[in-house]
Chain A
Amino acid sequence: MVLVLCIGDLHIPHRAVDLPQKFKQLLVPGKIHYILSPGNLCSQEVLEYFKSVCSNTHITKGDFDDDSSFADNEVLELGDFRIGVCHGHQVVPCGDTDALALLQRRLNVDILVSGHTHEFMAMQHEDRILINPGSATGAFSSLNPSAHPSFVLMDINGSKASVYLYNLIEEEVRVEKMEFTKAASKLI
């Protein structure tokens, strides 16, 4: 059982003051095994905060990150899944599921964690899973002006992934759960 935090597009200090207090309370150090972030942290302090929650971080470079140590994309294997992380500003049309699926095939990943749209999403697309944790600060974006803060927790157990979507709506944290199973690889 592996607990994975997917969190991104914080845009601190460019567009947001801080992670919501209610999220900070949830993200206690020592519980989470991996942090996967599609990027746009935008400051060293956010990175340090991530590291304080969990030292095992995989962060890719967003269009507003100037940390050159972040890669364009990262791939790792957890349980039976291959998981890819990529910010998504490289994908045209932005946020389009077919375009994301193309990237997913290129990286050969079962789960793709992307960001950029500030709109959270977790869905099965063809035989793979797309996850966008949204913006953890609900940062303003002209792509999604009414974004509210959100992140995703994934619990990976063998070939099963339970995905919890955390949303902060009107100062209240709402959680939604979705279950995914890795599709048996289909040979042609």
Chain B
Amino acid sequence: MVEAMGLEEQARLLQEAGNAVKRNAFFMKKAMDEDNLREALRYSATLLGELRTPTLTPQRYYELYMQAFNELTHLQAFFREERRKGRSYADLYELVQHAGNVLPRLYLLCTVGSCYIRSKEAPAKSVLKDLVEMCKGVQHPIRGLFLRSYLCQVSRGLLPDVGSEFEGDGGSISDAIEFLLINFAEMNKLWCRMQHHASGRDRDRREQERQQLADLVGRNLTYVSQLDGLDFALYQEGVLARVMDQIVSCKDAIAQQYLMQCVIQGFPDDFHLGTLDSLLGILPDLQSGVQVHVVVSSLLDRLARFAASDKAVVDTFNQVDAFGKLTRAAAKVTESENEVPSGDVVAMHAALLSFTGAVYPDRLDLVNKVLTSAYQALEKQAPIKDAKAEKLLVQLLSTPLDNYDVVTVLELANYPSVMSLLRPAKRKEMAVKICQTILRQRTLVSSMEKVEMLLDFISPLVRDTEGLEDDDEFFEEEQNLLARLVHQLVSQDTDEHFELLRAARDRFNAGGPKRLRHTLAPLAFAALRLVRTIKEGTADSKKADGACKTVLQWIHGVAAQLAEVPAAEIALQLYLQAAHAASEVACLELIAYEFFEQAFILYEEAIPDSKAEVTALQSIVGVLHRCRVFTAESRDTLVHKATGYSAKLLKKPDQCRAVCACSHLFWQELPAEEEGDDVAEGVQPPVRDADNVMVCLKRALKIANSAQQQLAVVLKGDHTTPVMLFVEILNHYLFYFEQGNPSITTSVLQSLLELVANEMANENCQKDEALLAFYNSTRNHIAIQKDKGDELAQKFSSLQL
């Protein structure tokens, strides 16, 4: 039958029925022209008889209905004409009932009825009541729905609404409501019955057809909402209760879903606010197929918008305890016997959360309550695996991050528990998001409480999570987020700031070496900066020294821990940075010394390869050169060790350069003039040990020499690297010469210049472009010095190039 019919077949049937309508309409109009009422009624009834077709789908049936509808407007005009000629509507109302078939008869009756009301010959309420009752005669769902839809449409504007011309003798607003609600109830019954006409196989198609017809049913409610006389009392007593009754009693999921939305979207916000109990109370009684969360969500959305449009109504929200009721309703939905899919539960709480945000932007406690409710509702289903639910839960957790700054979000005590509902991987994603938000907004987390909370929030990054494999690809990136976060843990109060860093370290410890490799260094640097802040900000120097010591000792511990990770290179660099701070910022000689010792131990025992040794030694020499706190004895020890290391490097060129660098350890820069006498206590005068500089440089020459001999032995005499070293050493001589180092006299320099010139005469050296360039640049530099015309130029003038 209908089910098996193809689209083409449907089109053909519609075509046929349409042609019949046209044909009969033609004869109907001809009869009208001939003023033949009886014939006109006969043809119109035949025309309407086409609507009895059992074979058209709702969509096709609608097209046919519209065709017939247009023809019926001609009939209305004809009826008015008849009346003008003296025939009463009462007569016509009787006359049309002669039509043999019930469907055409009722269409005709509705058509006359509308004219009847308009003429006020009879009170509107009686005609309406009569029609709405008589229409019960058609019980075929599609035919009945369209018939009643016709009734609804022609009687629009004829209802005895408040202020309408049909009010009074024609009845009152309650008659209008009565009419629409009966029609609504009957239509809903027909609509629901459609469902039972389908076999299992056709259910999907049938449901689709029903969705297409939904608006016919809903239109009754729309008309109710458009009644001018509808006030809250009438709505609450006369409308809502009955609509709700109908919704519950029809026990049909599609109808319930649609009609709940219809009510929520159709009637004003303040009505909803006044009837929250009824609206929410019905939810547990709905069929299991109804997506209750969608209903609740759209109610929440409407109310949120209502509150946003008018801040004054927030009071009303409070009076009726809207938040409490909605939260409880949400909870109830999830507690119902039917297992509600987790996605729906989350979606509803997401709506509740945005409602809370819109109505109570300042009420963090309420946000927390929503989170509690969400947690309780989902606890049993944890971890959430359903893809949609998971996505929505992440969105739900993101909402507070978007609406508040992160520090505020940290007050939401139940946030981590909701996070715990997620699978470990998602939990970590959320933690990453929190970190990124803080870093993007550059939010400072300044109290211990907040820091502890933050570390709870992001615990999947801080420590291992059960059931979560660390993804190598992102691990470093994630740990770097955590590392960057350290710089946001800042307090104005230096004591508190230090406590924050300690707390973070305690937590980081739980992460194990693979995380500590990334997270310890930033802690140490934050603490180093703190040393300076303490020193500069504390007037009482004893107190400052004490505080600096404490922090430096702590940094010592951090660096030691880093060395054990193991991450010796960075640990060594940290010791050096700390040594520099201890010396130059805090002026604490013993501590600075201790840091150097630790750096040396690491250098001797833990630096992995010769290349790393070169870098480490460069840093040691660079930092030691800048430290001015050491008294002669300790300085000697440290410098002695550093120079000792230089001679032990693997490659001669590295040895040679390192020794040159070490020469500077005996030749510190003079303090800048503006510093003058204002030297901090504990700072030693700069070392200017010309003799030892000379010793170093000579040793460098010796190394270059031995490199040359070594190469000669292995028959690589054409190698120019040693000459490169000679030129480099020459440049260091020049540096000290310019600095006025008394050991570098003109004659010493002259003899070195000649030595280098001799070496350069070698054929191989003349072919080495880099070497030539270096040599020529050096000579050029001397030439420039000679040209300067200052005191230094005097010294240079006697040099022979």
* Contact stretch, chosen from A7-15, A27-35, A158-166, A173-181: A7-15
Contact A93 B664 (CB under 8 A): yes
Q: How far is the CB of A131 from chain B (nearest CB, A)?
A: 18
Contact with B along A52-96 (1 / 0, CB 8 A): 000000000101101010000000000000000000011111101
Select B732's contact among A16, A89, A90, A102, beta carbons within 8 Å. Answer: A102
The residues in A between 87 and 118 inclusive whose CB is less than 8 angstroms from any CB of B are 89-94, 96, 98-99, 101-102, 104-106, 108
Starting from the known contacts A108-B773, A108-B774, A188-B801, 16 additional A-B residue pairs (CB-CB under 8 Å) come to A16-B487, A17-B439, A44-B477, A45-B477, A63-B615, A66-B569, A66-B570, A93-B626, A94-B622, A94-B625, A102-B732, A108-B777, A140-B529, A142-B581, A142-B585, A186-B784
Chain B interface residue count, Cβ-Cβ cutoff 8 angstroms: 57
* Contact stretch, chosen from B22-30, B236-244, B329-337, B518-526: B518-526
Q: How far is the CB of B736 from chain A (nearest CB, A)?
A: 10
B365 contacts A by Cβ under 8 Å:
no
Contact with A along B563-578 (1 / 0, CB 8 A): 0000001100100010
B538 contacts A by Cβ under 8 Å:
no
Select A142's contact among B532, B569, B668, B779, beta carbons within 8 Å. Answer: B532
A4–B276 Cα distance when bound, in Å, is 66
A106–B669 Cα distance when bound, in Å, is 23
| A18 surroundings in chain B (CB, below 8 A) | 439, 484
Select B664's contact among A16, A43, A92, A127, beta carbons within 8 Å. Answer: A92
Contact B731 A102 (CB under 8 A): yes
Contact A63 B801 (CB under 8 A): no
A44–B477 Cα distance when bound, in Å, is 8
A15–B625 Cα distance when bound, in Å, is 23
Q: A63-B619, A105-B777, A188-B780 are in contact. Are A43 and B480 (CB under 8 A)?
A: yes
Contact B625 A45 (CB under 8 A): no
| B486 surroundings in chain A (CB, below 8 A) | 13
A binding-site residues for B, Cβ under 8 Å: 11-18, 43-45, 61, 63-64, 66, 68, 89-94, 96, 98-99, 101-102, 104-106, 108, 126-127, 140, 142-143, 145, 186, 188
Contact A89 B525 (CB under 8 A): no
| A99 surroundings in chain B (CB, below 8 A) | 735
| B781 surroundings in chain A (CB, below 8 A) | 101, 105, 126
Contact A106 B774 (CB under 8 A): yes
B binding-site residues for A, Cβ under 8 Å: 439, 442, 476-477, 480-481, 483-484, 486-488, 518, 521-522, 525, 528-529, 532, 569-570, 573, 577, 580-581, 584-585, 611, 615, 618-619, 621-622, 625-626, 661, 664, 668-669, 727-728, 731-732, 735, 738-739, 770, 773-774, 776-781, 783-784, 801
A142–B738 Cα distance when bound, in Å, is 28
Contact B488 A106 (CB under 8 A): no
A92–B486 Cα distance when bound, in Å, is 32
Contact A142 B577 (CB under 8 A): yes
Select B528's contact among A90, A91, A101, A140, beta carbons within 8 Å. Answer: A140
A83–B362 Cα distance when bound, in Å, is 58
Contact A64 B570 (CB under 8 A): yes
Question: In this complex, what residue of B is CB-closest to A105?
Answer: B777
| B777 surroundings in chain A (CB, below 8 A) | 104-105, 108
A15–B521 Cα distance when bound, in Å, is 8
| A14 surroundings in chain B (CB, below 8 A) | 483, 521-522, 525
A-B CB contact pairs (8 Å), 6 listed: A13-B486, A13-B487, A14-B522, A89-B618, A90-B618, A106-B731
A42–B522 Cα distance when bound, in Å, is 11
